[in-house]
A = this chain, B = another copy of it.
Amino acid sequence: MSTKVVKSIREAIALTGLRDGMTVSFHHHLRNGDYVLNMVMEQIADLGIRDLTVNASSLFDAHQPLADHIRNHVVTGVLTDYMAAGLGREISRGLLERPVEFRTHGGRPSDIASGRTPVDVAFIAAPSADPMGNCSGKYGKSACGSLGYAAADAMYAKKVVVITDGLVPYPLLDWSIPEIYVDYVVEVEAIGNPAGIVSGTTRITRDPVGLVMASYAARVIEHSGLLEEGFSFQTGAGGASLAAASFLKDIMLSKGVKGSFGLGGITGYMVDMLRAGCFQSLLDVQCFDLQAVESLRTDPRHQEISALHYASPTMRSAVVDSLDVVILGATEIDTDFNVNVHTDSNGYIMGGSGGHSDTAAGAKLAMIIAPMFRARLPIVTDRVTCVSTPGRDIDVLVTQGGIAVNPKNGALAQRLRDAGLPVLDIHELKAKAEAITGTPKALPKGDRVVAEVISRDGGVLDRICAVPEL
């Protein structure tokens, strides 16, 4: 029987010919439960390989050991679309000499495909795989659903290693990644901690502020002129976004609107909307909860898409180009509607664009929902600390204290006013918040660049500086 199975991760690394200075890649479908990045990096470090670039679609707190590999110069470059607060804080304090390169979920696979950011060895964490490397995230004890972010890595990396805790006889059916791209397969005890891989369930907010924002958000969509047959929609997994989806579902059902597709990271709430007939399909680059995993596995209307298909700016098209409405978050938004999702109020890295910029650029209506202030800091500022998504791609900001429409979209503002929604100029919204919180002091800005935000078109959109020691 043909097989690509090798004994250990260590053996696979050796067989790939990985050497100092190369680039390794990882995907993040196992989210905060992922063991694979750490297992691989530990072996790489132990083999004495140094000066690597890690290209990871996202980095979570589970990947904190990466900080040590950076300290030890095993890793000297980091490319990612999202970085959780733990590692973010260390990067913001200057841990890494070269700036981190932040991309979007569409820009990352685009740059891998074009060879701008080539990958030498891709490590694919696969909940299910056969001995020739056909693999899927839908099956197995560590099932995470879609493997959409791993597709470009598999297609374009010079060597590809599949690491699985669900080895099945050949051929695995319903593969996400076919054997044609895979060099080696390694079986391990566990690729992740099920508790961290997906949330058991994602939950709607019960916070009254969140519910007000969600209600406004749903009504903005209702009156946007887009909520008609064929409507398409993406939202995040945050509590207020989910509440907005829930309100939207009620509106769609009561009006009998038959949408076309729900997109994105998929939650059980989107699955409910599919089943209720709000959408004819779900296009899924990442599952956020167990209900989404189960639906992707069993409902043919719920389909996996690659990150290239989801959001690449350089393929002939991507699904985001056909998207009507997206609901997105923000840590800050400025009076030009530029949005920050990279840094917190102290300037520390604690996020990243993910699909934020991609969907904002593609959607006909890109909506930010955020509270007017957080911990006595207004959400609206004169200038965001970091431009994650440019203001030209944002149409509307929804807060509990009112709705600000980007002036480029005057028709929308009029529609919302006509519907009786509290539309304010964004400067008024800023003043309204500051009347409660006071005007915050400007953040001291460091001068050493610790990260670059690469826009979808490949330019540097912004630079994130080290947070000065206080």
Q: Are A2 and B171 in contact (CB under 8 A)?
A: no
Verify B300–A174 contact, CB threshold 8 A.
yes
A261–B171 CB distance below 8 A: yes
Q: Among B2, B281, B301, point to the contact of A317 (Cβ < 8 A).
A: B2
The residue that A133 contacts in the complex, of B4, B261, B317, with Cβ under 8 A, is B317
Q: In the complex the two chains form, is A281's CB within 8 Å of B132's CB?
A: no
Contact with B along A238-278 (1 / 0, CB 8 A): 00000000000000000000001100000000000000000
Q: Are A182 and B230 in contact (CB under 8 A)?
A: no
A105 within 8 A of B: no
Q: Contacts A180-B312, A312-B180 given: A171-B319 contact, CB under 8 Å? A: yes
Residues of B within 8 A of A1 (CB): 230, 322
**A179 with B316, Cβ < 8 A, contacts A173-B301, A322-B132, A322-B170 known:** yes
Most buried by B among A173, A180, A283: A180
Could you say which of B261, B306, B321 contacts A2, with CB atoms under 8 Å apart?
Answer: B321
CB of A181 within 8 A of chain B?
yes
Q: Mark A301-329, 1 if CB is under 8 A from B, else 0.
A: 10101101100100111110110000000
> What residues of B have a CB within 8 angstroms of the CB of A178 in the complex?
305-306, 309
A208 at the interface (CB under 8 A from B): no
A183 — which chain B residues lie within 8 A by C-beta?
316
Residues of B within 8 A of A173 (CB): 281, 300-301, 303
Cβ–Cβ < 8 Å partners of A303 in chain B: 173-174
Inter-chain contacts of A322 with B (CB < 8 A): 1-2, 132, 170-171
Q: Please, which residues of chain B bring their CB within 8 A of the CB of A169?
A: 230, 260
- Return the contact of A308 from the options B2, B180, B260, B312 (Cβ within 8 A): B180
Would A318 and B180 count as touching, CB distance under 8 A? yes
CB-defined contacts of A230 to chain B, threshold 8 Å:
1, 169-170
Least CB distance from A155 to B in Å reads 9
- Whether A160 is near chain B, meaning CB under 8 Å from some CB there, is yes
Looking at the assembled complex, report how far the CB atom of A164 sits from the nearest CB atom of chain B, in whole angstroms: 16
Chain B residues whose C-beta falls within 8 Å of the C-beta of A305 in the assembled complex? 178
Q: Are A180 and B321 in contact (CB under 8 A)?
A: no
Q: Which 4 A-B pairs have the closest CB atoms?
A: A180-B315, A179-B317, A2-B322, A178-B309
- Residue ranges of A at the interface with B (Cβ–Cβ < 8 Å): 1-2, 4, 132-133, 160, 169-171, 173-174, 178-183, 230, 260-261, 281, 283, 300-301, 303, 305-306, 308-309, 312, 315-319, 321-322
A-B contact pairs, 17 of them (CB 8 A): A1-B322, A2-B317, A2-B322, A132-B321, A133-B317, A171-B260, A171-B283, A173-B281, A173-B301, A179-B318, A179-B319, A180-B312, A180-B317, A181-B315, A181-B316, A182-B316, A183-B316
Q: A133-B316, A179-B318 are in contact. List 14 more A-B contacts (CB 8 A).
A: A1-B230, A2-B317, A2-B322, A4-B316, A132-B321, A133-B317, A169-B230, A170-B261, A171-B322, A174-B303, A179-B315, A179-B317, A182-B317, A183-B316
